[in-house]
Structure 1
Amino acid sequence: MTGRPPAPRCVANARMYSPAPGAAAAWKELFAWLARESRIDLDVIDHAFPLALSDLWARKDLGAAFMCGFPFMLAGARPRPVAAPVPCGALYGGKPVYATRLIVGAKTRFQSLEDTFGGRLGYTVPDSHSGYNALRHHLLPYFRQHGAKLYRQSVGPLTTPRRVIEALLAGDIDVGPLDSYALDLMLRHDPALASQIRVVATTDLAPIPFLVAAADCPDEIITRLRATLLSFAAAPACAPLGDQLCLDAFAPVDVAVYDLILRWDADARAAGYARPC
């Protein structure tokens, strides 16, 4: 019997956007749909905290996993872009973008970001855009105005959005950064959270984390995965998943727009503000 050899099995992971069990389950359903429609075998793996995301992104069998634009742009050997999510909601304007929400506890006295100055600032990891780079970019004008550090303590690495929430509610930090799309998913699957936190500021928009495959993933696999993901918005069977994942569509990845992230990093470093504090 002749024909093309079967495509190799690949792994898939949505850890970055699985901040609640319901979201994690929905991503597994999406990856199952993606495997069926693309005819690419995808094994969904957990790779949960405290395992390092860098190890996930370095896997030779990676087919679809979310990667932040900051480590992608800094990487010497970059994975291959597959597609970027387009979250639903007015903030995103139908584009593959996101922001950082700066949150405080709902029962605290803080009504504005400035009210938190002098307190304890949480962050995720230094190579995170939403949890570090965008946070620092938003605070940079205040740093320039004050000419000194804004907080008495920077607390981290907290690593994940869920751990930022936990630190905030435990009183370990006064304010912390959350990827806006991750927060949307948290609120969708844990609506009680809305009464426990308050957003005091939102950063400028930036290009969103996107799905990547291994650097040497065959072209055919990339093409089939990308084409299938780009059909998500028009697939009637995916409407319930769109609701569960606060997701309108997937879009092609324009790597050039991620230069914005490097510019924000360079601006902060040039101002002597390498660490958000």
Structure 2
Amino acid sequence: MNWIASLPMYNVTPALAADWRAFLADVLHEAAPLTRIVETHEPLPAFWRRTDLLISQTCGYPLMQGLRESVQLVATPEFDAPGCAGPDYSSVIVTRADGPVHSLEASRGLRVAFNQSDSNSGMNALRHAVAPLSRDGTFFGEMIATGSHVGSLTALAEDRADIAAIDCVTMAFVRDGLPQLAQAVREVAWTQASPGLPLIASKGVDTSIVEALRVALTHALRTDPARTKRLRLKGFSTLSLADYARIEQLESDALACGYARLA
């Protein structure tokens, strides 16, 4: 098999994207040197299901919404970022820095920005936080899909939205690389924690290669300590699908409140 690999999820700036690509190259050099690093031009749900996928990164929500039938878990990064604890992460709920919103409840009837409907950090965790405040299945006045967390932050900064939930790792990278954008928003609340974005492989990848990838991921942390610090990486955990069931529980809790979608 001619394997491919890509880490598409935390490329907040071009410099960060270059660091992730270099980190991945070091991992593959040790574990699978013939693997080709590619750009993900096709929609991510299709890319993640490719049978020639050696390693990539996905979100826990699509993983539990059907992707798990096509992939296996490799590892979950542990990040040095506010809102992270081991392999768990949270979303920081933010508003415009000079806006009037000072609590989640105060955003009732206002404009919510979210990156996409299959995001755990931008939609599912926020839905869970809002559900107890909802009335007859509604809470917000307008929903704005932005396509990315940076897009949601930009919508807040430009007064096109009033509130959004941002993956805390992304928010840390924005503070590092896009400080002006970070300063345009302020914290309102935090969502409940859940397992972070996992590294995955096609189910066709042999378990011996998966084990080699796990070893290589840890070794790559030591290859370039300055890069590891820029990537805010602390280590990797090996989780199971049972661990990721906590993401399904966030959805179940919201449904129990009669709040099936951001509305």
- TM-score surpassing 0.5? yes
Please give the alpha-carbon distance, in whole angstroms, between the structure 2 residues aligned to 1:102 and 1:124. Answer: 13
Q: 1:25 aligns to what?
A: 18
Please give the alpha-carbon distance, in whole angstroms, between the structure 1 residues aligned to 2:82 and 2:175. Answer: 16
Is 1:166 the counterpart of 2:154 in the alignment? Answer: yes
Runs of 4+ in 1 over 6 A off after TM superposition: none
Give the match's secondary structure for 2:112: strand
Is 1:270 the counterpart of 2:256 in the alignment? Answer: yes
Instruction: Give CA-to-partner distance per residue, 1:58-85, whole Å, 9 cap, x none.
Output: 1121111111111111216231111110
User: In the superposition, relative to structure 1, how do residues 78 and 256 fare at CA in structure 2: closer, same or farther (>3 Å)?
Assistant: same
Contact 1:232 1:250 in 2 (8 A): no
Contact 2:7 2:56 in 1 (8 A): yes
Please give the alpha-carbon distance, in whole angstroms, between the structure 2 residues aligned to 1:130 and 1:117. Answer: 20
Give the match's secondary structure for 2:118: coil
Q: 2:107 aligns to what?
A: 116
Q: 1:3 aligns to what?
A: none
Contact 2:157 2:181 in 1 (8 A): no
Matches within 5 A, 1:129-168: 129-143=120-134, 146-147=135-136, 149-156=138-145, 158-168=146-156
Contact 2:82 2:172 in 1 (8 A): no
Instruction: Give CA-to-partner distance per residue, 1:202-245, whole Å, 9 cap, x none.
Output: 11110001111112122232121112113445x2x231122111
- Structure 2 residue ranges without an equivalent (≥5): none
Instruction: Give CA-to-partner distance per residue, 1:96-148, whole Å, 9 cap, x none.
Output: 111111111112222222232221112222221111110100111212xx556
| TM-score when normalising by structure 1 | 0.88
Matches within 5 A, 1:199-214: 199-214=187-202
Q: 1:104 aligns to what?
A: 95
| TM-score when normalising by structure 2 | 0.92
Contact 2:3 2:36 in 1 (8 A): yes
Contact 1:40 1:221 in 2 (8 A): no
Please give the alpha-carbon distance, in whole angstroms, between the structure 2 residues aligned to 1:22 and 1:108. Answer: 31
Q: 1:79 aligns to what?
A: 71
Q: 2:60 aligns to what?
A: 69
Please give the alpha-carbon distance, in whole angstroms, between the structure 2 residues aligned to 1:129 and 1:148. Answer: 19
Q: 1:42 aligns with which of 35, 56, 78?
A: 35
Give the match's secondary structure for 1:15: coil
Contact 1:230 1:251 in 2 (8 A): no
Contact 1:232 1:249 in 2 (8 A): no
Please give the alpha-carbon distance, in whole angstroms, between the structure 2 residues aligned to 1:44 and 1:185. Answer: 23
- Structure 1 residue ranges without an equivalent (≥5): 1-7
Q: 2:165 aligns to what?
A: 177
Q: 2:203 aligns with which of 193, 215, 234?
A: 215
**Sequence identity percentage:** 27
Please give the alpha-carbon distance, in whole angstroms, between the structure 1 residues aligned to 2:82 and 2:154. Answer: 27
Q: 2:83 aligns to what?
A: 91
Contact 1:63 1:213 in 2 (8 A): yes
Question: Which structure's CA Rg is the greater one?
Answer: 1
CA RMSD of aligned residues (A): 1.8
